[in-house]
Amino acid sequence: MAEKFITMPADFEQLIDQLREQGPFETNKAVMNFAAAVGWYFVKKREPRGKGTHGREIRWNVFEGSNDDAFIHVLALAESESIEILGRDRQKGEDDPIKVFEEYATAGLQYIQGKCVDVPGDLLDNLLDLIAEVNARPVAPPPGLEGLTPEALDFLAG
């Protein structure tokens, strides 16, 4: 079986380096995970990585070794709403979890560029404002728990 890789979008290599060097992220993997989450949360759509613009690669086992492969699989499941996306018998050309992850990371990096880098202020402060925006948004309770107070939901969340 061929080794798998996560490909960072070449158009955002400078931003990835900046987030690692000036931001709170220690690794490219951490930047990609954060960017994919931002892409899913704020952008709500995937952005193609672009043809022929493959950037640096991160070995799949780096994600597996820290159990971040679970996030990649859950993101793919949420996108496709079908367990078949995780199957080995997918047709050639069909989405796979890695492609879904890379495209949400690209969307997230694009969003981060516009909201945290291309605006006045310190990169880290702007990232913290982005995270505060997430925390300030009201979260709808999961189905079946609609009657619980926000405090009760916080307690259940741990």
The domain total for the chain is 1
Reply yes or no on whether the pLDDT at 43 is more than 80.
yes
Q: How confident is the model at residue 50 (pLDDT cuts 50, 70, 90)?
A: low
Out of 92-101, 108-117, 121-130, least confident range: 92-101
Domain residues for the domain of 132 are 5-157
For residue 39, give every residue at least 6 positions away whose Cβ sits within 8 Å of its Cβ, in sequence order, or none: 46, 47, 103, 104, 105, 106, 107, 108, 109, 110, 111
- pTM of structure: 0.82
Summarize the confidence of residues 68-73 as an average pLDDT.
91
pLDDT tens sequence across 28-41: 999 999 999 999 99
pLDDT tens sequence across 125-157: 999 999 998 888 766 666 777 777 777 777 776
Q: How confident is the model at residue 71 (pLDDT cuts 50, 70, 90)?
A: very high
Query: What is the share, in percent, of the chain residues with pLDDT greater than 70?
Result: 86
φ and ψ of 86, to 5 deg:
-90, -10
